[in-house]
Structure 1
Amino acid sequence: MISLGSAAAAPGEVATGRLPIGETRDGSSVGLPVAVVNGAEAGETLYLQAASDGDEANGVGVVREFVPRIDPAALRGAILVVGIVNYHGFQAGEHRNPLDDTKTNRAYPGDDAGTTSERIAATTFEAASRADYIVDLHQGSTSRMIHEVRVRCGRHHRMHDACLDLARAFDAGTILDQKGPEGQLARVGPDEGIPTIDPELGGAVGIDPASVEVGVQGLMNVCRSYDFLPGETSPGEQTCARDFDQYVAPAGGIVEFGAEPGETVAAGDRLFRVTDVFGSEKAVVTANTGGLFWRTRRLAQVGTGEYVCSVGTDLRTC
């Protein structure tokens, strides 16, 4: 029997339940939705979570589609799933946890006597620490962004190659190999010797079916590559970026882009221009270096100095 919160599954079974994390402001108990898929045959454990940023619903869509596709009779090992991590942010449709104004994915490994987010992080990290591999599903919030997988431990970390192998196995086509901020699960998991990746499944308001399918296929690729499920995988050639150039608006107005996410740009190519509401050009911004047009804001209107777009740089094939 394998348990996660109130979900307990015998070999060959699937169970769902709740993982207690405390109480709401009215004193009601709160539990995160969890699932255990316990394979008929013993093996390793995969931990999967979604929505540590409360407005990133694509990961929840992946969980919704992925869990029913797994036949525990064909599974070797177990899959532990936390379907929604940032419960309070998800309920409010907000990126951060509104109870402590914190990004939950900056609170790992957590503190079971700390703030709301730290307690959630501690509880979910205890579950993640039981696994042999960790996948933390994200998206580019509500921005427009390519599909990518992030390796956040840093290139000199002892687990870097194992994390990069896991990212390749997911096979989203693009990898960001850049050390992440402290407090990210993808930073902390490797410190415990667990290969961990952070797939960023596009960017959307709500759930984008195309991004969800990329995530579901990525998880199936991982399951087949690491012998959780039978079958062969053949990861394609993937583009790996090691850095970003971020661009802000030099003037306020309306943004018009000169490239689309996923397109290659060269130094000097126009990334965007800013006009006033009558169409008069106020500023043109070009690429400082060549790279992959990675992410853009979704809203057309910008103020001076406001974020507009990112270009992935230091590209290589991996």
Structure 2
Amino acid sequence: MTSLGTASADPGEVATGRLYVGETRDGSQVGLPVAVVNGAIEGKTLYLQAASDGDELNGVGVLQRLVPRLDPTEISGTILIVGIVNYHAFQVAEHRNPIDDTKMNRAYPGEEAGTTSERIAAATFEAAMRADLVVDLHQGSTSRMIDETRVRCGTRHRLHDECLELAKAFDCGTVLDKKGPDGQLARAAPDEGVPTIDPELGGAVGFDEESITIGVTGVRNVLRHYDFLEGEAPMDPQTRASSFDQYGAPAGGLVDFEPELGERVDRGETLFTVTDVFGTVKERVTADSTGIFWRTRRLPQVATGEYVCSVGTDIDSY
């Protein structure tokens, strides 16, 4: 039998339950929704989690669609799942945990006796460390963004190649291979010897079905490549960026973008214009480097200096 929180499954079974991580202000228990998919045959362990940022919902959509389709009698190994990590932020549809104003994906590996976010991070990190592989499902918050997979351990890390292989198996088509900030699960888990990726499944307000479908396919690709399921992952070449150029608004007004998300842009090519409310162009911003048009703000109105968009740079293929 394999357990995660109150979910316990014998070989060939699926179970759901709660992983208790503290109490709310009225003394009620906080229980993260968890699932155990225990394959009929022994094998590796995969850990999946979603919504460590409370408004990044596409990962929850992936699990909602994926788990009912998993037949444990056809699986070798075990899948441990935490469906909603940032419980408090999810309840109010916010990015950060409102109890301690913390971005959960900066709290790993956590602290059992720490803040609310540190306690949740510690409990989910303990679950992740039971696995051979970790997939931490994210999205670009409510910005508009391409579908991509992030490798955050850094190119000099001893598990860099293993994390890249995991990203290639997931097969979003685009990879950001750039060392992430301290406190990210995709930084902390490789330090403990567990290859980890951080798929960023687009950006949306609510669910984006196209990105969710890419995520479901990506997890199934991972299950095939690492022999949880029969079959082979495509392992197609991925377009890789190792840096970003970020652009702010040189003037206030309304933003009009020239390229579409995911398109290649060349140095000197117009990225966006800022106009007044009557359409008069105030400023035109061009690309500093050749790259991929990666991410944009969702709302058109900007103040001077406000974030507008990002271009992925230092592009290659692997």
Q: Secondary structure at the match of 1:219?
A: helix
Alpha-carbon distance in 1 for matches of 2:101, 2:282:
36
Residue equivalent to 1:4: 4
CA distance in 2, matches of 1:19, 1:265: 46
Q: How does 1:61-80 map to 2 (within 5 A)?
A: 61-80=61-80
| Residue number in structure 2 paired with 1:195 | 195
Rounded to whole Å, the distance in 2 between the matches of 1:232 and 1:292 is: 29
Letter in structure 2 aligned against 1:28: S
Structure 2 residue 131 is matched with structure 1 residue 131: yes
Q: Distance in 2 between matches of 1:60 and 1:275?
A: 37
Instruction: Give the match for residue 57 of structure 1.
Output: 57
Q: Name the residue aligned to 1:91.
A: 91
- Within 1, Cα distance between the matches of 2:143 and 2:260? 13
Q: Which residue of 2 aligns with 1:149?
A: 149
- Matched with 2:82 is 82
Which residue is equivalent to 1:269? 269
In 2: Cα distance, 1:102 partner to 1:248 partner: 25
Partner Cα distance (1:295, 1:78) in 2: 35
**Aligned residues with identical type, % of pairs:** 70
* 1:106 corresponding residue in structure 2: 106
Q: CA deviation at 1:296?
A: 0.3
SS in structure 1 of the partner of residue 78 of structure 2: strand
2:22 aligned with 1:22, yes or no? Answer: yes
2:101 is paired with a residue of what secondary structure? coil
How far has the Cα of 1:280 moved from its partner?
Answer: 1.1
Please report how far the alpha carbon of residue 232 of structure 1 lies from its aligned counterpart in structure 2 after TM superposition.
1.9
Measured after TM superposition, the shift of residue 237 of structure 1 is 2.1
Structure 1 residue 13 displacement after superposition: 0.1
The aligned residue for residue 279 of structure 1 is 279
| SS of residue paired to 1:309 | strand
Q: Distance in 2 between matches of 1:20 and 1:136?
A: 20
Q: Equivalents in 1 of 2:144, 2:308: separation in Å? A: 11
Matches for 1:173-192 after TM superposition, within 5 Å: 173-192=173-192
> CA RMSD, aligned part only?
0.5
- How far residue 233 of structure 1 moved from its aligned partner, in angstroms, is 2.0
Distance between the aligned counterparts of 1:109 and 1:121, measured in 2? Answer: 6
Does 1:160 find its partner at 2:128? no
In structure 2, the residue matched to 1:254 is 254
State the alpha-carbon separation in 2 of the partners of residues 95 and 260 from structure 1. Answer: 26
Number of residues of Structure 1 aligned to a counterpart in Structure 2: 318
Cα distance between partner residues in 2 of 1:315 and 1:201: 20
Alpha-carbon displacement from aligned partner over 1:212-267 (angstroms, at most 9, x marks no partner): 00000000000000000001222222100000000000001000001111000000
- How far did 1:166 drift? 0.2
Write the letter of the residue equivalent to 1:309: C
Q: CA deviation at 1:58?
A: 0.2
CA offsets per residue over residues 7-43 of structure 1, 9 Å max, x none? 0000000000000011111111110000000000001
Distance across 2 between alignment mates of 1:233 and 1:281: 48
Aligned-partner Cα distance in 1 for 2:200–2:235: 18
Give the aligned partner of residue 205 of structure 2.
Answer: 205
Point out where structure 1 has 5 or more consecutive residues left out of the alignment.
none
Q: Equivalents in 1 of 2:91, 2:260: separation in Å?
A: 32
**Alpha-carbon distance between aligned partners in 2 of 1:267 and 1:233, rounded to the nearest angstrom:** 35
SS of the equivalent of 2:227 reads coil
Aligned residue number for residue 290 of structure 1: 290
Corresponding residue of 1:224? 224
The residue type equivalent to 1:86 in the other structure is: N
Question: Structure 2: which 5+ residue stretches go unaligned?
Answer: none
Q: Which SS does the other structure have where 2:161 is aligned?
A: helix
Distance 2:55 2:15 in 1: 26
